[in-house]
Amino acid sequence: MTKQIPQPIYDTNFLSPPQMESSDEIDLRELFSVIWQGKWLIVAITVVFAFGSVIFAVMQPNIYKSEALLAPASEEQNGGLSGLASQFGGLASLAGVNLGGKGGVDKTQMAIEVMKSRQFASAFILKHDLLADLMAAKKWDMTNDKLIYDADIYNEQTKTWMRKVKAPYEPEPSMQEAYKEFTKIISVNAAKDTGMVTVAVEHLSPSVAQQWVTWLVQDINKVMKDRDVAEANRSSEFLNKQIALTNVADIRSILYKLVEEQAKTIMFAEVRDEYVFKTIDPALVPEEKAKPKRALICVLGTMLGGMLGVMFVLIRHFARKED
């Protein structure tokens, strides 16, 4: 008696591999067919976006960037205090005097953070009267090297602000508004490997950009110098009072040396204009614009138009197919 071999049972609900491949080919053909049928619409949308990107790129004003390369100035005035800290730190602590020594905030890093601070930016804008150049400049007249202001924002003849804003804002921009714009156009960066600091300003006018960088370097050196001189003067007054109150010879000796170091700090600050940063490469008036990248804007705008055109044609086709 022969055994019957059971026949395999096929599930007709599933398509065989050849049928699936055929289905995929049909879908791809349909996809390309839809795109080909809607090619003129895609071209039209791409052309519209291309023209729009060209117009947008042409309307953007040129922005010029000026920068200066700075090196941290040597902190020679701290050498004496460090030496005193290693020799007489224990005795000085008895008198309540902190000699400092190692640690603390690096003066270069502190200067960088001061330049980025709201207080420094506000004082800088007010000192050099930069509010109109910062908030109302519309374009730059290359022939006369002059800024042209937006008449709807600022009247150059009467020096009055004309902009219309809602409360709590006023026609004249506040320092908070000015600070936001200021931080957009300046950059202060320190190289980790070399320690060099780059200060850069972007503006419609290349001469304004160069002038602002020069002022920034001068002002930060002066601000940091004034801070150290004021601190040294306060320290000297305190130390002289401590000298009058103590009769311990060793502590008086330390205090006298501290007073001497404070006097050196003041003298060191007064004889140096480049107190925190030394200029290695000064800011120049740029001859070439930094931005906008008009060619890149046009290319990206055209590509965006092409992609949106293809998406629109496909979405319209499948929406009609489902209906």
**85 Cβ contact partners less than 8 Å away, ≥ 6 residues apart:** 92, 99, 100, 101
The reply to whether 142 falls in a domain is no
Tokens of 199: 């200060």
Asked if residue 134 belongs to a domain, the reply is no
Q: Residue 145 domain-assigned?
A: no
Q: What DSSP line would sit under 198-224, residue for residue?
A: EEEEEESSHHHHHHHHHHHHHHHHHHH
Q: Which two tokens stand for residue 311?
A: 């998406």
Same domain, 90 and 225: yes
Whether residue 55 sits in one domain with residue 181: no
Cβ 182 vs Cβ 115: under 8 Å: no
Per-residue pLDDT of the chain (323 residues; tens, 9 = 90+): 455 555 555 455 544 455 444 444 447 787 888 888 888 999 999 999 999 999 999 998 999 999 999 999 865 445 444 445 445 555 444 444 445 544 445 788 899 999 999 999 999 999 999 999 999 999 998 888 899 999 999 998 999 999 988 888 899 999 999 999 999 999 999 988 888 999 999 999 999 999 999 999 999 999 998 888 888 888 888 888 878 887 877 777 777 788 888 888 788 778 788 889 999 999 999 999 998 898 999 999 999 999 999 898 888 888 887 76
Same domain, residue pair 204 and 99: yes
| Dihedral Cα 210, 216, 221, 223, nearest 10 deg | 160
* Structure tokens given for 9: 């049972």
Residues 248 and 200 in one domain: yes
**Has residue 232 been placed in a domain?**
yes
Residue 235 lies in a domain: yes
How many domains does the chain fold into? Answer: 2
Residue 229 belongs to a domain: yes
| Residue 317 belongs to a domain | yes
- Only one residue has tokens 């309307």, namely 59
Q: Residues 267, 269, 272, CA angle at the centre, nearest 5°?
A: 110
Domain that holds residue 196: 64-129+177-281
Task: Check which CATH number belongs to the domain holding 118 and give it.
Answer: 3.30.1890
Q: CB atoms < 10 A from the CB of 7, how many?
A: 6
